[in-house]
Amino acid sequence: MINAQSLIEHLTELRNRLIKALVSVFVVFLSLVYFANDIYYMVSEPLQQALPAGATMIATDVTAPLFAPFKLTLMLAFFIAIPFVLYQIWAFIAPGLYRREKRLIAPLLFSSTLLFYSGIAFAYFVVFPVIFMFLTAIAPEGVVVAPDITFYLDLVLKLFFAFGVCFEIPIAIVLMCWTGITTPQSLREKRSYVIVGVFVIGMLLTPPDVISQTMLAIPMWLLFEIGVIVGGFYQRKASQAE
């Protein structure tokens, strides 16, 4: 049983790790805040390129030109600081893990960071140009396309999170196989349900157009297949170590 002193030590360690994680985000934010407007322009470039000639983005709120770039910069600071944040999580839980568990989890933390960044990059470089070109092209005749900068920011942050989190599917599958919640064979038998599920998730997390839904659903399905393959390896490793 954990005594009171041990519990206090754990809570103190957790607090210190959380403070370090928050400080890392704040430090990155301070280093980027001077370039907030440039960062916003870079993120809005896929939409800017898709706008009709002479069209521009607008700000319907008088405070939006100030707060929209700052909000984006804060979120970017969090994205950049994710490796250090995950390290703090790892440093907190590592003392309670066996050597075998450390060998299994350490690569997963690195892979989860890489996959999260990959999801964001896929959204920005592949998905955004396609969906914004499509959405601006279907505007009815006589309608001037002039997106609001705050609404645009909310949309792209939602898509960044959606693609970043959904690209973590292989990690989730590996963890489920490793802990014995499921098996690769069981997941293969449910493949048809998974395919339907990823399209439903794509419909819920993306704008209401078929293109963006499909561009999220197909990578999710492929990542599911990768996760099943890698999960089989981790399952074998776990059973061999028992």
3-state SS, residue 58: strand
Instruction: Please tell me the distance from the alpha carbon of residue 220 to that of residue 19, in angstroms, as a whole number.
Output: 34
| Residues 6 or more apart whose Cβ sits within 8 Å of residue 171 | 108, 111, 112, 115, 227
pLDDT tens profile 165-218: 999 999 888 888 887 888 888 888 888 999 999 999 888 887 777 888 888 899
pLDDT tens across the length of the chain (242 residues): 456 667 788 788 889 999 999 999 999 999 999 999 999 999 999 999 988 887 889 998 899 999 999 999 999 999 999 989 888 888 888 777 677 767 777 777 888 889 999 999 999 999 999 889 888 888 787 788 889 999 999 999 999 998 999 999 998 888 888 878 888 888 888 889 999 999 998 888 877 778 888 888 999 999 999 989 888 876 655 555 54
pTM here? 0.83
Q: What is the chain's mean pLDDT, rounded? A: 86
Residue 40's pLDDT is: 95
